[in-house]
Amino acid sequence: MDSGAIRALGILGQIPFPLELLDREFHVLFCNAAYRRQFGAPPRDEIGELQCLLPSEIEGLSRDQIVAQAEQEESWKGEARIRTQERGEVPFRVRLFPVDHPELGGKAYAACYEDIGREVAAREALAHQRYLVEIRLRQAQAGELLSMIAHQWRQPLTAVMSLIGNIQLKTQMGPLPADYLQSKLEKMAQSVQFLSETIDVFRNFYTASKHKSVEDLSVLVHRALDLVNPALVTLHVDVETRFPQKPASARVFPGEFMQVVLELIGNARAALSAVRTGSGRLLIALEADERWVWLRLENNGTPIPAEVLPHLYDPYYPLRDGVQTGLGLYMAKLIVESHHGGTLEVESQDGINRFSCSIPRGIP
């Protein structure tokens, strides 16, 4: 080995992370002190050749595919669980990059292993925390949605009871005319059909989808609005919708997108609850181009204080009189930005609270 190669190995030997130098057949040519402390001496197979620590497959890629990517892009990075001497299997971030090795015609590869046990534990803890937050949010929404169902069902149930009362009263007065009975039964059937459709809407909302699908966001917004419309009617809110004539389609998780719309409408409803009866306004608008769909909700309810705006998406941020932000807007932002690659922004000025949501269409 020439002096240049010896100096190179000396430099590699000082790297604080475990490192091994491999030939194209994945035999270990060299390993540094950190490697030996973490994994011991490289294992030997039955015929006595040193075998590498690099797993045969990482993140669905074989060793040959990993080497090919490293040669093409000058480096490769992935994560794998590797057995250590004292701690059992530990998650490592693996980096592979080609290095000059004159004796092998330049065909050598350095594999570096970074212990990311704490990082992975933190990621898993965060994922678990988000899971618990989603459960709590669903529990809170269940109560809200039950209230919405009660609003939706109250009128048709009252209508059915009224029709039954009319029929009972009519029968006491004598035989029922056929056309009268048919008319009342048709109205009862319409009310029952409405109740059935309401059940379907709520069931579809709670059915979690594991895959995105191309949906017309105008339809999803209408469905969400139908769910909360009785509560808006109670507040005498003037609701205006502006949707494009062509479908505003995008690849989304339908239930999650409806969850975002329901939360934004619910937030507007809370702001409008303090507005003088008959003067509350809510605008829901959709716009689309070839790449994006934009959803905008504006209301003239209680303005959002400037000092609160930066914290509006923080879970349980204290507002006033014991009121907190809760989890809804936090989850809405998480769904839009993390699950769909979009943005969710808010501003409050000139007496208008405005939420702006962008969703990439994701359609080839």
Lowest mean pLDDT among 138-147, 229-238, 304-313: 138-147
Contact 286, 242 (CB under 8 A): yes
Query: 287, 297, 223, 293: which is closest to 266 by C-alpha?
Result: 297
Contact 306, 314 (CB under 8 A): no
Lowest mean pLDDT among 66-75, 230-239, 352-361: 230-239
Read off φ and ψ for residue 140, nearest 5 degrees.
-65, -40
Given a cut of 90, whether residue 298 has pLDDT beyond it is: yes
Q: Where along the chain do its domains lie?
A: 3-115, 118-206, 208-364
Which one-letter amino acid corresponds to residue 94?
V
CA distance 98 to 108: 6
CA distance 339 to 160: 43
From the CB of residue 134, how many other CB atoms can be counted at a distance below 10 Å? 15
The full DSSP string for 247-262 is --EEEE-HHHHHHHHH
What is the reported pLDDT for 103? 60
What is the reported pLDDT for 42? 67
CA distance 281 to 301: 8
Read off φ and ψ for residue 32, nearest 5 degrees.
-90, 180
Given a cut of 60, whether residue 323 has pLDDT beyond it is: no
Which one-letter amino acid corresponds to residue 309?
L
Full-model pTM: 0.52
What is the reported pLDDT for 340? 92
Angle between helices 178-206 and 254-272 (to 10 degrees): 100
For 19-42, the pLDDT digits (tens) are 888 888 888 888 888 888 888 776
* 118-206 shares the fold of 3-115: no
CATH of domain 118-206: 1.10.287
What is the reported pLDDT for 100? 74
The CATH superfamily label for domain 3-115 reads PAS domain (3.30.450.20)
* Confidence tier at 266 by pLDDT (50, 70, 90): confident
For 139-164, the pLDDT digits (tens) are 666 666 666 566 567 666 777 887 78
Query: 57, 60, 63: which is closest to 24 by C-alpha?
Result: 63
Name the token pair of 306.
Answer: 């400037």
Lowest mean pLDDT among 16-20, 222-226, 313-317: 313-317
CA distance 358 to 293: 6
SS3 call for 284: strand
Q: Right CATH number for 208-364 from 3.40.50.11710, 3.30.565.10, 3.40.50.150, 1.10.12.10?
A: 3.30.565.10
Find which of 92-106, 279-293, 327-341 is predicted with most confidence, using mean pLDDT. 279-293
What is the reported pLDDT for 113? 92
What lies within 8 Å, CB to CB, of 153 at 6+ separation is 195, 198
